[in-house]
Every structure is written in structure tokens, then in C-alpha cells.
């Protein structure tokens, strides 16, 4: 998978799949946050946005408005 090879866009997209349990993949918000973080750490704005939303809402992580 491109996400496994470090593609930031693919990581954020795969994070969405895990967060919502799409395409037959089991819902796993912790894995989604991990993928969003990998994407965000590479400067991918979509990954940064999704990661921030998860911190803002406390989804898969402890709610943290400063981190968001």
C-alpha cells in the first residue's frame, strides 16, 4: 500500500477508512489517529486537519484543545 510506503495523502485517506469503518474495514479510531499523525508529520494539510479534529472532539485520543 502507498500508505505503508510513506505516502502522506494515502495515510490520511486510509485514516478516514479506519475512522469510519469504510470498505469492509473495521472501525478503528486509534489506527485512524496514528495514520493522521503520520500524514500530518509530513506536512500534509488534510492529515493535520483530521488529526486536529480528533483532538478537538476527543476521538481516538484524549480531548486536547491545545494539541488540536
For residue 65, what pLDDT band results from cuts at 50, 70 and 90?
very high
* Residue 1: predicted pLDDT: 81
Q: What is the per-residue pLDDT across 1-27, written as a single tens digit (0 to 9) for each?
A: 898 899 999 999 999 999 999 999 999
Distance CA 66, CA 58 (A): 12
pLDDT per position as a tens digit, 28-52: 999 999 999 999 999 999 999 999 9
pLDDT at 58 over 90: yes
Torsion, CA 30, CA 34, CA 39, CA 43, rounded to 10: 100
Amino acid at each position: 500500500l502507498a500508505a505503508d510506503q510513506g505516502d502522506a495523502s494515502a495515510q490520511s485517506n486510509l485514516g478516514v477508512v479506519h475512522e469510519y469503518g469504510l470498505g469492509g474495514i473495521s472501525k478503528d479510531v486509534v489506527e485512524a489517529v496514528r495514520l493522521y499523525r503520520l500524514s500530518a508529520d509530513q506536512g500534509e494539510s488534510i492529515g493535520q486537519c483530521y488529526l486536529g479534529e480528533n483532538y478537538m472532539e476527543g476521538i481516538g485520543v484524549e480531548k486536547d484543545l491545545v494539541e488540536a
